[in-house]
Structure 1
Amino acid sequence: MKQVLFCFLLCAGLGCGSGKNEQDTDVNEGFRDEAPVANKDTASNRVSATVSDSSVMMQAVSVAGNYKGLLPCSGCPDSEAELELKTDGSFILNRKQAGTDKQVAEKGRYSVNKQMQVTLEGQPEGQNRFLLLAGKLKLLDKQGRLQKGSMARKYGLIKY
């Protein structure tokens, strides 16, 4: 019995002290030189870098699709709108004035900047800039800021 126990302890001791074999790996290997991503600024900088590094074509693809909602109308009641943003940078905007059957279709080009702001070229100022947020195009004011209050809730387009 003593011999069996002695052999067991000897084998266990040799196994533990043998060092690293070829199959052992350090789970932290390759991460030692990286700074931890702990603060808020670093995380937001990574997101900004990702967006700014992507090409304009990739941005156009990510916003491309059909959107529906309510938009302001200069000199007329608000209009129900359907907007199709195509991957080639063109758009089709169909508007229907509230209370009428009159529909107007407009075509043009759009652009997307690094902040994911979509600008419809040839549309009236204050009605041509949107911010893409979670599948919605939120209407921006003339200075490029998000609308506030009832305007923010009322105007915008939802992807469908």
Structure 2
Amino acid sequence: MKKILFAILSISFLQVSCSSSSEKEGREDESNVTMDDFPETIDVPMNPSPADNSMNSLDWDGTYRGTLPCADCEGIETELTLNQDGTYSYKTNYLGKNDALEEEYTGKFSWDKEGRSIQLDGLKGSPGKYQVGENQIWHLDQDGNRISGNLADLYILKKQ
């Protein structure tokens, strides 16, 4: 009986020791991976596809409203309607002035070459540049950049 038990233990020991060495050999093969096994460069397109812009990807037409900051009044109530045919209607109301100044402009707008921002043509006294986002647009400065700082959130018009 002891001989049979000894034989079984010996066979088990041999199996464990053989499988351990083959696992170690597999790990050694993995550790021999060098940088030469990988490509030097990966081609990544620098420009997104033309479909990945506000003009083509978003439901941008509609009416946007908000109150923009004003230096000498309580705010400029603003409504901008963008139409699919490339026309706009722009209404402003200067709040808190005795002789409230309401203005309305209509005209055409154009997209920038990236299809992210629009320029309202024919506006007086305003750069008329907006970056179009999902259900909102950002009023841009005269250089076409988003306004930053503490008041940045006040330069957003929300889609109605």
Are positions 1:84 and 2:78 aligned together? no
* TM-score, normalised via structure 1 length: 0.58
Amino acid at match of 1:108: G
Between the two proteins, the alignment pairs up a number of residues equal to 115
Flag the 1:63–1:99 CA change in 2: closer, same or farther, 3 A: same
Distance (whole Å) between structure 2 residues aligned to residue 66 and residue 157 of structure 1: 9
- Give the Cα separation in 1 of the matches to 2:102 and 2:156: 19
Matched ranges for 1:1-160 at <5 A: 42=44, 45=47, 48-51=48-51, 59=56, 62-71=59-68, 76-77=72-73, 78-100=75-97, 102-113=101-112, 114-124=114-124, 127-160=127-160
How far off is 1:71 after superposition?
3.0
Computing the radius of gyration from Cα coordinates, the structure with the larger value is 2
CA distance in 2, matches of 1:148, 1:120: 21
TM-aligned CA deviation for residue 88 of structure 1: 0.9
Q: Give the C-alpha shift of residue 156 in structure 1.
A: 2.1
Partner Cα separation in structure 1 for residue 138 and residue 105 of structure 2: 20
Q: Please give the alpha-carbon distance, in whole angstroms, between the structure 2 residues aligned to 1:71 and 1:98.
A: 10
Q: Return the offset for 1:132.
A: 1.1
Q: Structure 2: how far apart are the matches of 1:96 and 1:125?
A: 14
**TM-aligned CA deviation for residue 44 of structure 1:** 6.9
Change in 2 beyond 3 A, CA 1:42/1:152: farther
Once residues 46 and 146 of structure 2 are traced to their aligned partners in structure 1, the CA distance between those partners, rounded to angstroms, is: 19
Residue 125 of structure 1: how far off its partner (Å) = 6.4
Aligned-pair identity in percent equals 25
Question: Do the aligned partners of 1:72 and 1:127 also contact (CA within 8 Å) in 2?
Answer: no
Distance (whole Å) between structure 2 residues aligned to residue 44 and residue 66 of structure 1: 33
TM-score (norm 2): 0.58
How many Å apart are 1:119 and its aligned residue? Answer: 0.8
Q: Alignment partner of 1:142: what SS?
A: coil
Structure 2 unaligned runs (5+)? 1-41
Residue type at the aligned position of 1:122: G
Structure 1: segments with no counterpart, 5+ residues = 1-38
